[in-house]
Amino acid sequence: MTGNAPRRADALRNHDRVIAAARELFAERGLDVTVPEVAARAGVGRATVYRSYPSKEELVLAVARESFRALEERTLAAIAADDAYRAFVAYLPDLLEHLRRDRGLAAAFLEARLVPAARLVDLIGRLVEAAKAAGPLRPDTGVLDVRIVLCGVIRQLIVLDEREPAVWRRYADVILAAFRS
Amino acid sequence: MTGNAPRRADALRNHDRVIAAARELFAERGLDVTVPEVAARAGVGRATVYRSYPSKEELVLAVARESFRALEERTLAAIAADDAYRAFVAYLPDLLEHLRRDRGLAAAFLEARLVPAARLVDLIGRLVEAAKAAGPLRPDTGVLDVRIVLCGVIRQLIVLDEREPAVWRRYADVILAAFRS
DNA sequence: AACTAACCGGACTCACGTGTCCGGATAGCC
DNA sequence: GGCTATCCGGACACGTGAGTCCGGTTAGTT
């Protein structure tokens, strides 16, 4: 790690295989995928996975970090928009579509203990506050509503294993209605 | 069981202790309570619990059955009300208050595989349909919204361990807003 | 008071998933 | 082509919770 000694070629190749397998499996089936399953799909042994990522959480973060960063950027852009309300209205279906496509990302998003997830939820809270000042949202709306309503609906869509894009789109609209005054 | 032979006094006493302990623990902490914990609180051994209830699910049902029946009755009454919309508006905070008070009941309510829970959700769906005909609800609202929005918000309130009555009351209102057109 | 059938509960098995270890194999260098 | 540091992965240790079993005990009857 620190000494960044040149790692052996097979180690690098296996590392790539592991993260590719994890990316696929997490996206398809969420974070309940077990480490042995990831190892099997990658064609390596369990211990090889744990060598690159000391715990399953590290693996999850490695896979999801980029997606979180992208979502954060979109959120910041929406907050900074001229009309934060319109930006929020456009943002919601976009967010849900991303989460629908990647079950692992959605599951990570709902994991309040995960730092990037908590940060993103806070940002969305700030977006709601900004939107409130620019459009017809409930005056008492805040980050708690994001945590309860937005996260609750997303969690339930996952629990019920809903995959239909139209259904997810519809709930973007329903969530918006819940926030509106 | 079948021969309903007169059970010994100590067996009946232990049975009562077990169900009382289960009722308390489930209400306080939900269904994640383990069977050993129930046994310990009841002051009996594990096997004694399994004698009365062959599986944990049976125990849960035994504890929750009465509450489900009561909720079903209230739901049916609301469906049959003159103004189903007003009945629905009054019903929601009432339902949430019951679930807030009994975490085990709330957890059971969210367990779609549990027959009484599924039946209650269906009934609430019928209530929504009836209310739709009598008041300003979205025309495309139905039982799916109950499953996603109502159950989602309740699940998230539990996940975040929210216990404040005022917060639960507020979300009864927010859910209603989500259903409204 | 003695006897027996029923009950009690500690100890056990089983299943599953995370994380560790060490003997064997192999890549990279000389 | 040989040597060694590094990596590989099957086997293992651990923790948790559900559900079972059997020797000891006690309630209820005669």
> Across chain A, what does the average pLDDT equal?
94
Which pLDDT band, with edges at 50, 70 and 90, does B6 fall under? Answer: low
* Structural domain contains residue A122: yes
Which pLDDT band, with edges at 50, 70 and 90, does A9 fall under? Answer: confident
Which pLDDT band, with edges at 50, 70 and 90, does A10 fall under? Answer: confident
Residue B153 has pLDDT above 50, yes or no: yes
Contact state of A177 with B175 under an 8 Å Cβ cutoff? no
Cβ distance A162 to A168 under 8 Å? yes
> How many Å apart are CA B69 and CA B116, to the nearest integer?
8
Residue B76 has pLDDT above 80, yes or no: yes
Contact state of A171 with B151 under an 8 Å Cβ cutoff? no
Cβ distance A132 to A55 under 8 Å? no
* Structural domain contains residue A72: yes
Residue B181 has pLDDT above 60, yes or no: yes
Specify whether B108 is located in the same domain as B134: yes
Task: List the CATH number of the domain containing B44.
Answer: 1.10.10.60
Mutate to test the interface with B, among A153, A164, A168 (most CBs of B within 10 A): A153
- Pair of tokens at residue B165: 């009555």
> How many Å apart are CA A127 and CA A144, to the nearest integer?
13
- Give the 3-state secondary structure of residue A44: coil
Specify whether A153 is located in the same domain as A121: yes
Specify whether B26 is located in the same domain as B111: no
Chain B residues with beta carbon closer than 8 angstroms to that of A175: 178
Per-residue pLDDT at A22: 96
Residue A45 has pLDDT above 70, yes or no: yes
Contact state of B144 with A152 under an 8 Å Cβ cutoff? no
Residue A6 has pLDDT above 70, yes or no: no
Cα-Cα-Cα-Cα torsion A59, A110, A95, B144, nearest 10 degrees, comes to 130
Q: What is the DSSP letter of A31?
A: G
- Comparing C-alpha atoms, which of A67, A66, A72 is closest to residue A126? A72
Tens-digit pLDDT profile for residues A100-159: 999 999 999 999 999 999 999 999 999 999 999 999 999 999 999 999 999 999 999 999
* Structural domain contains residue B2: no
For A38, the domain range is 9-54
Specify whether A75 is located in the same domain as A129: yes
Per-residue pLDDT at B1: 41
Per-residue pLDDT at A47: 92
- A55 CA to D7 C1', in Å? 19
Per-residue pLDDT at A64: 95
Q: Phi and psi of A153, rounded to 5°? A: -65, -45
Helices and strands counted in chain B (H then E): 10, 0
Specify whether B96 is located in the same domain as B145: yes
Mutate to test the interface with A, among B146, B154, B156, B180 (most CBs of A within 10 A): B156
* Structural domain contains residue A3: no
Specify whether A19 is located in the same domain as A38: yes
Q: How many domains does chain B have?
A: 2
* Structural domain contains residue A2: no
Cβ distance A143 to A121 under 8 Å? yes
* Structural domain contains residue A70: yes
* Structural domain contains residue B85: yes
Minimum CA–C1' distance nucleotide for B11: C7
Question: Where is B11: in which H helix or E strand?
Answer: helix B9-29
Specify whether B157 is located in the same domain as B75: yes
Residues present in chain A in total: 181
Residue A3 has pLDDT above 80, yes or no: no
Specify whether B95 is located in the same domain as B18: no
Over range B28-41, report the average pLDDT.
95
